[in-house]
Chains A and B, each alone.
Chain A
Amino acid sequence: NAGVTQTPKFRVLKTGQSMTLLCAQDMNHEYMYWYRQDPGMGLRLIHYSVGEGTTAKGEVPDGYNVSRLKKQNFLLGLESAAPSQTSVYFCASRSRGMNTEAFFGQGTRLTVV
C-alpha cells in the first residue's frame, strides 16, 4: 500500500543545476499538487494538476515547471536551481469530488548551495 511516493528524499544541488522531483501515486487520483514548506510560511502551492495532461499555477510557480504525462505521476522540475529554492517539497494527491481527503508524500528535502 504505497500511497504517494516522492523521489528522491534528499538532494543537494549547486546553484544553476537542474533536477526533477518525481511524485507517484497508486490510488488513481485525478488531482495532484506540489507544495513547498518553509519555516514560518506553512505550505505554499507551487503547481497543481486536475487531470492527466493538465497543469495550473499555484501561489509560487516561478522557477518551477511541472508535467503530468501519466495520471499516476506528477513531475516538478527546477531548470536552474537557486538558493531561494532550498526547502522541503511535498506532493499530494486526492480524488475528484467534494471534500475528498488529500494524501501526502513523505517530503523531499532540497538544499541549493
Chain B
Amino acid sequence: AQRVTQPEKLLSVFKGAPVELKCNYSYSGSPELFWYVQYSRQRLQLLLRHISRESIKGFTADLNKGETSFHLKKPFAQEEDSAMYYCALVTNAGKSTFGDGTTLTVKP
C-alpha cells in the first residue's frame, strides 16, 4: 500500500527566508507526485506536479527516487504563501493518497 508522510504539521518562517516543506512517500510502483495548496477559505488547488519540473509562484519540487522524497522549496518566502500544503501520490490504478498536510505561516 502507498503512503505519504509530511513530518511537519506546522512550519513558521519570516518573510524573505527560505522554506522547505518535506514529503516522503512509499510505493512499490512508479508514483505520480503532486503538491496541492489550500489558501484560507479557498478550495484545494494544484501547485506543482513532478512530471512538469516547473516553478510555480517561486516554488519548486524535485523527485528523489533514491530517498523517496518530493520536498517543496522556495528560496524567499512571501506572506501570501501562508497556507496549508498537501503532498499527494497517485498510483497507476488511479488511487490518490494525500499526506497529513503542513500549515505554513510566513511572518512579516
| Contact flag A42-B98 (CB < 8 Å), given A99-B32, A104-B45, A106-B43 | yes
- Number of contact residues on A: which range applies? 20 to 34
**Is the C-beta of A69 less than 8 angstroms from some C-beta in chain B?**
no
B97-A45 in contact (CB<8A): yes
| B81 contacts chain A at the CB level, 8 A cutoff | no
Is A41 within 8 A of B46, CB to CB? no
Q: Which residues of A contact B26 (CB under 8 A)?
A: none
Inter-subunit contact B6/A42 (CB<8 Å): yes
Which listed segment binds B: A10-18, A19-27, A71-79, A90-98?
Answer: A90-98
Q: How many residues on B have C-beta within 8 angstroms of the other chain's C-beta atoms? A: 25
Interface: A82 (CB within 8 A): no
Q: Which residues of A contact B97 (CB under 8 A)?
A: 45, 59
Nearest-neighbour CB distance to chain B for A6, whole angstroms, equals: 10
**In the bound complex, what is the Cα–Cα distance between A31 and B99 (angstroms)?**
20
A96: which of B88, B94, B100 is its contact (CB, 8 Å)? Answer: B94
Q: Is B25 an interface residue (CB 8 A)?
A: no
Are A50 and B100 closer than 8 Å at their CB atoms?
no
13 contacts between A and B (CB under 8 A): A31-B94, A42-B98, A43-B86, A45-B96, A45-B97, A59-B97, A92-B96, A99-B52, A99-B90, A102-B34, A104-B43, A105-B43, A107-B43
Binding site for A on B (CB under 8 A): 6, 9, 32, 34, 36, 43-46, 49-52, 86, 88, 90, 93-101
